[in-house]
Amino acid sequence: MEKNISGYLELENDSSLHETHRKVIRSINLLLNGSYESGKPGLRNAVVGNELERVATSAIVGLYSVSDPNPSFLHNVRKQEGGLFVNSVETTESILVAGNIILTGMPGGGKTLLAKALAALCGLTFARVQMTPDLTPRDLIATTTLEGDKTFTYLGPAASSNILLADEINRATPKTQSALLERMSSGTLTYKDRGREVSLVLPQPCFTLATRNPIEQEGTYNLPEAQLDRFLYNIQFPLPSRGTLTEVLSSILDIADLKMQPLTSGADILECRNFIVKEIEVPEHVKSYIVRLILACYDPLSYDIFPGLKEKLAGETLVTLPPNSRAAIHIMNSSKTLACIQGSRIVKVEHVKKRFFEAVNHRFVLNRRAVPVLLADYGNIDNFLSLLIKGGNRKGIYGLLDVVPIEE
């Protein structure tokens, strides 16, 4: 999505679009720009600067996209009724979980404001948890306490909110980080309550937004690969530019006076998301292109890019663990959302390319022996992955989006 979305505003009144299709476009416009008629502000009134502008649109795409679709299941349940044990069959309904977003960058960039504003504009419940080394899984999910002669269970922030902000997620231990896996992948949580295992279906939409400090900072733990894989996008948040810093100082009083009010609702978001999942088509040639892009990540140097690097590695593989089938699903689903927002019922190659880098940059595990070479030549791993995927026009470097053929 571009900053100037006047074309999308006009699409709201396009009679050729399905009613729900227009509703999706209107919802996105309201969340980003607010309501001109009522004077209610949107995200662009709360977050300023080009860096946060991009983060805001990506977060909204994640909220309207589906990450891991879950089928419904039939369970055989044995329970006690009137002193007798009775067998019954219960159905667990399928849940379409939102595409979770991780923001990587230095603290103090306005990411918490973004999450709180998004929750307020959607009319959804919000919880923020500061991830620290002493935080436990119980603190996130549920805590049981004895008060007098009674025992009470209090649900934690991960179990009681639509939008959860896990701030500085990589400051928590890997065990605590992993406590969010079930929420992120299936929209449920399981915990022990007085010896009983309790399964909790979370309120929908269920959306997790996490911030991550650069791994070079002290007191950080690497996120497990399985958890990184649950994030739809990793948005790399750079240091603010001169223009952004100036804009922040100029608008600080305006932001303080803002009253963020609901512009849409959870029910509308779910209706729009179901429409995107079921009604936006992905042609076979676009699916094939997604597959070729993912396969190219297995051995990217086989495309004769970075010839000097191939010589330095001397036969060593570059990628130990590449993006997988979940990455392909996430790319397809977010591309459907982008196509829908732009007024199309059919996904095009350009929609796949638009967010491919953010969908895969956190899913690479590189060969440890290659890392020193990459650091020496490219400064850091993020710079290298950006060049590997997107290329660098000024440097005359081609990336996978340049060399992987669109048609076989």
If you average pLDDT over every residue of the chain, what do you get?
86
Model pLDDT, residue 3: 44
Tokens of 144: 């049981």
| CATH for 44-258 (3.20.20.100, 3.90.1010.10, 3.40.50.300, 3.10.105.10) | 3.40.50.300
Extract the tokens encoding 345. 């019922």
**Which residue's structure tokens are 């089928």?**
71
Mean pLDDT within 74-84 = 73
Q: Please provide residue 166's backbone torsions phi and psi, each rounded to the nearest 5 degrees.
A: -95, 95
Q: Tokens for 72, please give them.
A: 């419904």
* DSSP secondary structure letters along 319-376: EEE---HHHHHHHHHHHHHHHHHTT-SB--HHHHHHTHHHHHTTS-EE-TTTHHHHHH
The two structure tokens encoding residue 246: 């100036």
> CATH number for the 280-403 domain, one of 3.40.50.300, 3.40.50.150, 1.10.8.80, 1.10.10.10?
1.10.8.80
Q: Is 252 exposed, middle or buried (0-12, 13-18, 19+ CB in 10 A)?
A: exposed
| pLDDT confidence tier of residue 293, bands split at 50, 70 and 90 | very high
Q: Which position has the token pair 């990459």? A: 374
What is the pTM (predicted TM-score) of this model? 0.87
Q: What is the pLDDT of residues 150-168, one digit of tens each?
A: 888 889 999 989 999 999 9
Dmax (CA) for the chain in angstroms is: 77
* pLDDT band per the 50, 70, 90 thresholds, residue 218: low
How is the chain split into domains, by residue range?
44-258, 280-403
C-alpha separations of 209 from 8, 14, 119, 182 in Å: 26, 33, 11, 15
